[in-house]
Structure 1
């Protein structure tokens, strides 16, 4: 479910948004669909003045094979598309091979033909390229390429020289559809690390319950969210579908992905640093300063997936603490294996809810309607949930965002309760 500007608009009953992994996309693509690179030009050097249309097509690299390319030009394939692994309303995800290293990659193609698609694509681009450091639990973006008219340009953060990039930004801001030839649409290609373990739904529900795995995943998830908040990024769509699993190291490593609804809260400073909790007054104080500030940044565009949305998101006035609520729903559902059936895809998904007669209602929506409602954690009588985890989940799911721990406090407390379990 997505809600925009405070108006509830049910699209899918608790279902996923965007590019989803599916078993339906296992067919091999034709051999001709190969990502290629041509001679790289310096995109930042001063160019002589040209006709505007010619300058618009001055891309630094060509990314896709195109029949119009001069057959005499020597090209060296960079990536080979192997198969489609996911498809959504605004994009497709492929598994690919980096020809130089042999590494498996995920290639996400987003069609930028409508303002809402451009906004989602740029949100993901801005979030991932704003991260100066890597984190093992956040999906890694290798490169992003803007493609149009069979040519392409490698994108970089804050690139103000590219007219195509500026046109995308203008399209997103003005909400006007890009005009062009329908047979030659504009695309953004994201080249990212490939997560062969599927998403959190698939991984958890295809295996027997394992308390050790649960504790590991809980620590990894809180570490990822703390990292994002320290870097002034609010994810806004945390859910099991958007948490991928990498097994390259032998043990499962979670990767928070899909930043199409994320918000980079730029321009924050430390003026509120004196308000940080005393518990954070240690060597990590600078990180806490960032988190305090991001929790002072108010967002008004209500968006996300309904089963994971905090009460204040339904109202359209919220902060980064909404991510903490969503994380609480995910962890609670993971520990007790609480699931529902998505009305559109018919998939079984992890997610906690409140029963009202024959209906199931998202926890956030139920708390908004009845703020005094007491959540029964754990739900199941035979649950092995410790008292420490139970209390932490109750705090994460507090109806008042101010009563929830921030991402730094959560990381510290999660380490404590999982080590004690």
Structure 2
């Protein structure tokens, strides 16, 4: 990229950082591993070509940057710097060596209930900070939950706030966003929703952690929604032995209508 140093793709310099290998990508962004040129700190640089963004996506990007600048919490990804050059924005974030929770589940399959509890407590702490700031994430899924290390002292960090939005107290939103497998049915039905929509996503993540599969499936979004709406309960794999507390929490989180009990079958 012009104006950012020489030496080919592997030797690029962005601000004070030496850019290394690509570690991720999205529809409008590429994520690079990088190191600070002076003190060697590892970071992840999310590179966005601004010319590809329509007005709504530009607003989402600005919202994400605003949220990350505003919040400092161990269970939310840290923002180190914003570096702008013509046509591109680089968001410099803390580097999470453990990858994301989706990769973790792929490697390990279902996890012991105690480890799922460890992850859920950290996710709850991050969500509490969002609620304290009248924010909803709206796209909670394993791919957006990063792990600080590869060992048993993993710290889970919420990331990717492009869909997050501010809610006025008791405010309701109507926008369709998020990933269908983890999306609350009220969002898929284009109904008004509030911060409880994030709790459905938490339930879907917990269910996948302890069983190795998502609670509901479908060949497309419409069939997925139909399967959710006609379901009378959750189907836990018979070979999975879970505590009553864990299954009860799944039932409480994965309730189509928080005012009506979601009865186990």
Whether TM exceeds 0.5 here: the answer is: yes
Q: Which of 117, 123, 140 does residue 221 from structure 1 map onto?
A: 123
Structure 2 counterpart of 1:99: 37
Cα deviation, 1:58-80, whole Å, max 9, x if unaligned, reads xxxxxxxxxxxxxxxxxxxx110
Q: Which of 95, 117, 120 does residue 194 from structure 1 map onto?
A: 95
For the Cα contact (< 8 Å) 2:24–2:30, is it kept in 1?
yes
Cα deviation, 1:183-236, whole Å, max 9, x if unaligned, reads xxx222111100111110111221263333222112111221122111211100
Partners of 1:135 and 1:363 lie apart in 2 by 38
Structure 2 counterpart of 1:287: none
Partners of 2:211 and 2:157 lie apart in 1 by 21
TM-score scaled by structure 1? Answer: 0.55
Q: Secondary structure at the match of 2:10?
A: coil
- Unaligned 5+ segments in structure 2 are 1-7
Q: Secondary structure at the match of 1:353?
A: coil
Indicate yes or no: 2:232 matched with 1:374. yes
- Unaligned 5+ segments in structure 1 are 1-27, 37-77, 149-185, 269-292, 339-350, 405-421
Q: Which of 69, 74, 79 does residue 129 from structure 1 map onto?
A: 69
Taking structure 1 as reference, are residues 403 and 324 closer, same or farther at Cα in structure 2, changes over 3 Å only?
farther
Equivalenced residue count is 250
Structure 1 counterpart of 2:162: 260
For the Cα contact (< 8 Å) 2:217–2:227, is it kept in 1?
no
Partners of 1:125 and 1:402 lie apart in 2 by 35
Taking structure 1 as reference, are residues 329 and 29 closer, same or farther at Cα in structure 2, changes over 3 Å only?
same
> How much has 1:135 moved relative to structure 2?
1.5
TM-score scaled by structure 2? Answer: 0.86
Indicate yes or no: 2:10 matched with 1:30. yes
Find runs of 4+ consecutive structure 1 residues off by over 2 angstroms.
Answer: 207-212, 359-364, 366-370, 401-404
Partners of 2:223 and 2:124 lie apart in 1 by 20
Structure 2 counterpart of 1:80: 18
Partners of 1:383 and 1:361 lie apart in 2 by 27
For the Cα contact (< 8 Å) 2:217–2:224, is it kept in 1?
no
Structure 2 counterpart of 1:306: 180
Structure 2 counterpart of 1:328: 203
Q: Which moved more, 1:103-112 or 1:225-234?
A: 225-234
> How much has 1:124 moved relative to structure 2?
1.1
Partners of 2:162 and 2:100 lie apart in 1 by 17
Partners of 2:205 and 2:35 lie apart in 1 by 32
Structure 2 counterpart of 1:383: 240
Structure 2 counterpart of 1:157: none
- If asked which structure has higher relative contact order (CA below 8 Å, sep 6+), I would say 1
For the Cα contact (< 8 Å) 1:195–1:246, is it kept in 2?
yes
Structure 2 counterpart of 1:352: 215
Partners of 1:92 and 1:251 lie apart in 2 by 28
Indicate yes or no: 2:254 matched with 1:397. yes
For the Cα contact (< 8 Å) 2:101–2:143, is it kept in 1?
yes
Structure 1 counterpart of 2:3: none
Partners of 1:388 and 1:244 lie apart in 2 by 26
Task: Give matches, 1:135-174, under 5 Å.
Answer: 135-148=73-86
